[in-house]
Structure 1
Amino acid sequence: MAKIDEVAKAAGVSISTVSYALSGKRPISADTRARIDAAVRELDYRPNAGARMLAGSRTSIFALTEPFRPDTHAPTHMSFVLAASIAARRNDYDILLLTEEEASSGMRRVASSGLVDGVLVLDVAPDDERVALARRIAIPTVFIGVPDDHAGLTCVDLDFERAATLAVRRLADAQHRVVGLVGQPAIAYENSNFPPRVRRGFDAAARELGLDAHFRSTGSNRPDAATTRRGIAEMIDAGVTGFLVHASEEATAAVLAEVTARGLSIPADVSLISVASSFDASALAIAVDDIPLVPQRSCDLAVDLALRALEDDPPKPRVHLIEPQYHSRGSVGPVRPTSGERTD
């Protein structure tokens, strides 16, 4: 198989000139490009998809970088992988999945090889190491998530803060004055971008409305039913009557189990809203109001933005937040009057 130095020798140019011609990173004269093109064809030089770039075509492949860490909740993240694949195929694109725990290595490799037209970034951390790399590589990058440092990046995600605010306001409208957030495992507030955004929205809305707010996580590294039930019990004992649950389906089921075990009913005694759920909250043992996280909405928009970034006049990078949608299923009701309170 021919090597790049053989192409350079046949075309009478330097190796770097061949590299620039294949990558399109620098302008090359028509005569020089024609000689390199002829040498590539004659030697059948095809080290990677860059050879196709010489003819001005695309690879029709997007890389999807999804570093599966030990604390990754696989069902949720795989739903995003599937949604991204469906969105890509709808646009005649394939997905190359990069799952290294070292998040940047695969992304750097495919960007330098010319194998893909763009990169979709999943499982975004607050201080994600892929941010700096996205600013250096020549191909479009779209983050499905919002890192803390997102200046100059294209990002798409559910508006998690607004979702939490919407849920708190719904509880306040039902006269709940003591509210609680059942959150993700503790490690998620260090490794993921969205749990802190839900908590910020919850805390800010509670302060604005003058509510007494409580928070409990559902474990240390992974959702744990015993930890979840202990947390919900502590909050009920502290007087919480309205709950936001930002947790996995298993943890949400544990919340319902503890409420039932204490002889309480929903919504007569306590109210529940599932925030940013990626599962069907209507299929739980008790149907729960929810503000869903819909992977297809995020991934459809991300793929569309990646395609638009390949156009001659691409849109400017910015954060695109998806409007949260509230689904009412009867799990929120007015606070039950305590003994001695008027009910008329």
Structure 2
Amino acid sequence: MATISDVARAAGVSISTVSYALSGKRTITASTRARIEDAIRELDYQPHAGARMLAGATTNILALSAPIHTDGHLPTHMRFVTAVVDTARRYDYDVLLLATDDDVSGIRRVAASSLVDGVVAMGVKAHDERVEIVKRAALPAAFIGVSGEHGDGVACVDLDFERAGRLAITTLADAGHRTVGVVGHPPTYLERGTGFVQRFNAGLEAEAAARGIRIDVVSPTLARGDAERAFDDLLDASPEMTAVLFHCNEPVVEAVLRRIRERGLEVPTDLSAFAACASYDTSHLAVPLSSIPLPLDQMCRIAVESALRQVRGVDALGVELIPPVAEDRGSVARPRR
């Protein structure tokens, strides 16, 4: 296997000159660069992954900033990761996973190096520190989620969560429901400023207020038994509740559906149920649920393609919000009382 020393000897230059050609840190003459390029091709030299092959060339690696939090649902998290990797592979790109839970340390490392061509970020906060990091580094980047009110000057793609919140309430209100129990994500999501939860809640609350719908909210964790206890509290506090709206991860939905049966209730005869922004297939649940699906694969594809357009020098900034669509699986009916 050829080394950088072999390339330097073949090109008749010093090792440092080859290094400058690979990193682009210093200007070298066109004739010298041509000799180095010829030597690299003839020797089939493969530079270390941490350096760009030549100034202005690409590494064919994207970083995926995907912080893992203890309150998250790992299978859902990995669906995002897999969707990003699948899209990147179609463009002959590899993906470097940055999974530290502090959001910023991994992205700072890659922004300070030439290891990757661009970044895709998920788990986006309402005001995300990673935005300024990629902007300062002039690093092509796309966010699966929206930072700030209008994306803070980077490329963002997401479901329109505010409209999804409104659509969820509209669906239940149009069916005649006046008191709706909401099973939401754990409170820690809001504590760390998770953007999609804030946006969904804003739409939900605004539409409920406009239509005179009472909403009662519980926010169970993924801990064993917590979802069942939260539903008991919800039903006991609001005996007039005729519908339950899920905006939470799949294990919580499954647990609450079991608890509904244990309490002698049937969906939708006794209690309507609706899943908002579902990252899972609601048709496979014990009770198939009407839902607003989360277009996860579409979001990841758009983000990867946006980052790669920026790598090619094409302006791909701005916010793209995907309109929510409701799917009817028969779990919402008019209340009997």
For the residues of structure 1 that align with 2:52 and 2:287, how far apart are their CA atoms? 57
Unaligned runs of 5+ in 1: 338-344
Alignment map for 1:28-39 (pairs within 5 Å): 32=29, 34-35=31-32, 38=35
- Residue 97 of structure 1: CA displacement? 0.9
Alignment map for 1:151-230 (pairs within 5 Å): 151-191=152-192, 192-219=194-221, 224-230=226-232
The letter of the residue matching 1:333 is A
- Residue 57 of structure 1: CA displacement? 3.0
Corresponding residue for residue 122 of structure 2? 122
For the residues of structure 1 that align with 2:135 and 2:160, how far apart are their CA atoms? 24
- Residue 299 of structure 1: CA displacement? 0.6
The letter of the residue matching 1:100 is T
For the residues of structure 1 that align with 2:254 and 2:234, how far apart are their CA atoms? 12
Corresponding residue for residue 52 of structure 1? 53
Equivalent residues of 1:245, 1:273 under 8 A apart: yes
Alignment map for 1:10-21 (pairs within 5 Å): none
Aligned-residue identity in percent? 39
- Residue 221 of structure 1: CA displacement? 7.9
For the residues of structure 2 that align with 1:220 and 1:171, how far apart are their CA atoms? 26
The letter of the residue matching 1:263 is G
Unaligned runs of 5+ in 2: none
Corresponding residue for residue 90 of structure 2? 90
Deviations 1:53-103 (A, max 9, x none): 42x432111111112122222111111000101111112111111112232
What is the SS of the residue equivalent to 1:282?
helix
**Does residue 257 of the first structure (1) align with residue 258 of the second (2)?**
yes
Corresponding residue for residue 148 of structure 1? 148
What is the SS of the residue equivalent to 1:187?
helix
Alignment map for 1:223-302 (pairs within 5 Å): 224-237=226-239, 239-302=240-303
Equivalent residues of 1:272, 1:332 under 8 A apart: yes
What is the SS of the residue equivalent to 1:103?
coil
Q: Flag the 1:285–1:39 CA change in 2: closer, same or farther, 3 A.
A: closer
Tell me whether 41-50 or 159-168 shows the greater mean CA deviation: 41-50
Q: Flag the 1:78–1:253 CA change in 2: closer, same or farther, 3 A.
A: same
For the residues of structure 2 that align with 1:132 and 1:223, how far apart are their CA atoms? 40
- Residue 48 of structure 1: CA displacement? 4.6
Q: Flag the 1:67–1:23 CA change in 2: closer, same or farther, 3 A.
A: same
The letter of the residue matching 2:176 is Q
What is the SS of the residue equivalent to 2:152?
coil
Deviations 1:14-35 (A, max 9, x none): 99xx86x756699x5xx63544
Q: How many residues align?
A: 324
- Residue 324 of structure 1: CA displacement? 1.5
What is the SS of the residue equivalent to 1:143?
strand
For the residues of structure 2 that align with 1:254 and 1:35, how far apart are their CA atoms? 67
Q: Flag the 1:77–1:291 CA change in 2: closer, same or farther, 3 A.
A: same
Q: Flag the 1:303–1:81 CA change in 2: closer, same or farther, 3 A.
A: same
Equivalent residues of 2:52, 2:115 under 8 A apart: no
- Residue 2 of structure 1: CA displacement? 6.5
